[in-house]
Amino acid sequence: SAVISQKPSRDICQRGTSLTIQCQVDSQVTMMFWYRQQPGQSLTLIATANQGSEATYESGFVIDKFPISRPNLTFSTLTVSNMSPEDSSIYLCSVASLVHEQFFGPGTRLTVL
Amino acid sequence: DQQVKQNSPSLSVQEGRISILNCDYTNSMFDYFLWYKKYPAEGPTFLISISSIKDKNEDGRFTVFLNKSAKHLSLHIVPSQPGDSAVYFCAASEGDDKIIFGKGTRLHILP
Buried b (16+ CB within 10 A) or exposed e, A48-87: bbebeeebebeeebeeebbbbebeebbebbbebbebeeeb
Quick: pLDDT tens for A43-95. 999 999 988 888 999 999 999 999 999 999 999 999 999 999 999 999 999 99
Say what the pLDDT of residue A108 is. Answer: 97
By Cβ distance, the residue of A92, A94, A100 closest to B49 is A100
Query: Cα–Cα–Cα angle for B96, B100, B101, nearest 5°?
Result: 140
Is the separation of the CB atoms in A25 and A77 below 8 Å?
no
Please give the angle made by the CA atoms of A47, A89 and B27, to the nearest 5 degrees: 55
Q: How many CB pairs under 8 A join A and B?
A: 50
List residues bridging with B65 in a β-sheet. B56, B74
| Closest-CA residue to A34 (of A110, A111, A85, A113) | A110
Query: Which residues 56-95 in chain B show a CB within 8 A of chain A?
Result: 89, 93
Q: Which residues of B touch A102 (CB under 8 A)?
A: 46, 99
Higher pLDDT, B61 or A39: B61
Q: Which of A42, A58, A99 sits opposite B103 (nearest CB)?
A: A42
Is the pLDDT confidence value at B1 over 80? no
Q: Is A85 on the interface with B (CB under 8 A)?
A: no
Inspect the interface and report whether the beta carbons of A41 and B103 lie closer than 8 Å.
yes
User: Average pLDDT of B13-37?
Assistant: 97
pLDDT at residue B95, as a whole number: 86
In chain B, what is the greatest distance between 2 CA atoms, to the nearest angstrom? 41
- Tally: H helices and E strands in chain A: 0, 11
